[in-house]
A and B are shown apart, each in its own frame.
Chain A
Amino acid sequence: MAKIHVSPRSIVVPGDLIAEGDDVEAESLFIEKRGKKFYATITGLVSIEQVDDKYKINIIPLEGAYIPRPGDIVIGLVEDIGLTHWEIDISSPYKGILTVQEALDKPFNPVTDSLKRYLDVGDYVVAKVIAFDRARDPLLTIKGKGLGRVTEGSIVEIKPSRVPRVIGKKGSMVNMLIKETGCEVLVGQNGRILIKCPNKDIEEVLILSIKKIEAEAHTTGLTERVREFIRKERERRGV
């Protein structure tokens, strides 16, 4: 029989005993199993789910760097240009590699053509991680719907560990932001958020509310509080 040592949604720190027993399953990389005991290895919020006769435990990290995973949508900044590839800063310990094959639809000849014509240093791109095996740098692609160079809008940077909170359960938070402000919001998994707003005033309100989510990521009832915040700010500013 499982013994749970922490209450759900409480904060755990490295070394905390979360649970013990044979019917416990760890769903996070940040939970270490020693014998029958499960320990936290990171500062985060625990969630405990009872499925059939098993307890599934998970930790949502409160801090930490962005580690790329295949399939992630990220917003990158072009840092350097090689002969047939771009190096992209994806605010992670690992830099993204975008090869010319993953960017252009036509054959590319480095002798007659220059990559600079397509993407220059300082450009932002919306990209997808296609492969990352930890031994080499993550490979990106900008071929696909919604991907490619960013031509308009603003970028807001937050801590990557706060991204799940900005998206919310099944996108509840980001959908609320879009509905309340009428802006377009694209959240990159690496903590960069692309926003396109009808005017500057509403953009400011949106940025403030994103920063509010970042600061209060570990609290409960955040969606409603942020909704309230946006309505108050809009009223106060008359936008």
Chain B
Amino acid sequence: MGGTGAEKPTLIRWEERGGERVAVRIDGRLPEQLRPIRIEVGVLGNADGSALVEYGATRVLAAVYGPREAVPRHVALPDRAIIRCRYHMAPFSTEERKTPAPTRREVELSKVIREALESVVLTEMYPRTSIDVYMEVLQSDGGTRTAAITAASLALADAGIAMRDLVAGVAVGKVDGILVLDINEVEDNYAEADMPVAMAPSLDKVLLLQLNGVLTHDEFIKALELARRGILEIYKLQKEALRKKYVEVETSTTG
């Protein structure tokens, strides 16, 4: 899609591996392979909950405040909490400076992420309050919205807000006719399709699904299955990271 005008790089190479011809991506990954993922929970002292998530070079910080008194008062709802989301890309997150003002794209992503989170957070437990979620993209290399939602759900769990499940997200793309998991920036720029997906794995529900480009019916089903597998992997890492926060305290104090 949005090719930069420069010459298109070779996105898929075919290599002989163990007697089989396999597709290798521009960063050396196999089509069904995630980027290295790093997750850290409780990174900010002032926030009630926070998380830092990295998908390769993509890096997103999420902070959660609340439940707290909703300001201004009239936005509060009598029977449940409101969730307010801000997805924002730092001016230094991209190659060319991004203006810090919220763009149309950021407003949209804030909305779809908010809607995804609203379906897992038990907002009825906190009437008349607001839960504020801030997601800041520190470095962008494709898949920032899915990394943001993964970070946001961890920050909510870290803040002790009741939710039915954690949310994990990953993008699937179609590059040179091949479906690839966890698409990065270069691949995205020349991809035929890009499909970010977020799911609540233990509920087995899709919370966010967008599709940019064209996929056939069969490709779509395959892409969704591919995303599901990636999400399950990320989900495991999420749970590990949440538990690790407490185990670390334990080992650092008993020594």
- Shortest B181–chain A CB gap in Å is 22
Who on chain A is nearest to B126 by CB? A93
What DSSP secondary structure best describes chain B's contact surface?
Answer: mixed
- A41-B164, A216-B249 known; A13-B242 Cβ under 8 A: yes
Q: B166, A93: Cβ atoms under 8 Å?
A: no
Q: A95 CA to B129 CA in the complex, in Å?
A: 11
**Contact in complex: A63, B164 (CB < 8 Å):** no
Q: Mark A199-239, 1 if CB is under 8 A from B, else 0.
A: 00000000000000001101100000000000000000000
In the complex, chain A residues whose CB is within 8 Å of the CB of B249: 215-216, 218-219
* Number of interchain pairs (Cβ within 8 Å): 97
Known contacts being A11-B246, A65-B67, is A41 close to B253, with CB within 8 Å?
no
In the complex, B69 has a CB within 8 A of chain A: yes
Q: Residue A169 at the B interface, CB < 8 A?
A: no
- Map CB proximity to A onto B122-143 as digits: 1 under 8 Å, 0 otherwise: 1001111100000000000000
A63 in contact with B158 (CB, 8 Å): yes
Query: Is B239 engaged at the interface, CB distance under 8 Å to the other chain?
Result: yes
Q: B91 in the interface, Cβ–Cβ < 8 Å?
A: no
Closest to A37 in B: B202
Judge whether A25 is part of the interface by a CB distance below 8 angstroms.
no
Q: Is residue A43 contacting chain B, with contact meaning CB distance below 8 A?
A: yes
Chain A interface, DSSP helix/strand/loop, else mixed: loop
A228 CB to closest chain B CB (Å) equals 12
Question: Hey, which chain B residues are within 8 Å of A64, CB to CB?
Answer: 159-161
Establish whether residues A29 and B125, one from each chain, have CB atoms under 8 Å apart when the complex forms. Answer: yes
Restricting to A65-117, which residues have a CB under 8 Å from any CB of B? 65, 67, 93-95
Residues of B within 8 A of A134 (CB): 127-128
| A52: min CB distance to chain B, Å | 29
Cβ B202 vs Cβ A32 within 8 A:
no
- Could you write out 20 A-B pairs with CB less than 8 Å apart? A14-B120, A14-B162, A14-B164, A15-B202, A15-B203, A16-B239, A30-B162, A32-B122, A39-B164, A41-B122, A41-B163, A42-B161, A65-B67, A65-B126, A67-B125, A93-B129, A94-B128, A216-B249, A218-B246, A219-B253
Task: List CB contacts (< 8 Å) of A14-63 with chain B.
Answer: 14-17, 29-30, 32, 39, 41-43, 61-63
Name which residue of chain B comes closest to A59, CB basis: B162
B127 touches A11 (CB 8 A): no
* Chain A residues within an 8 Å CB radius of B127: 134-135
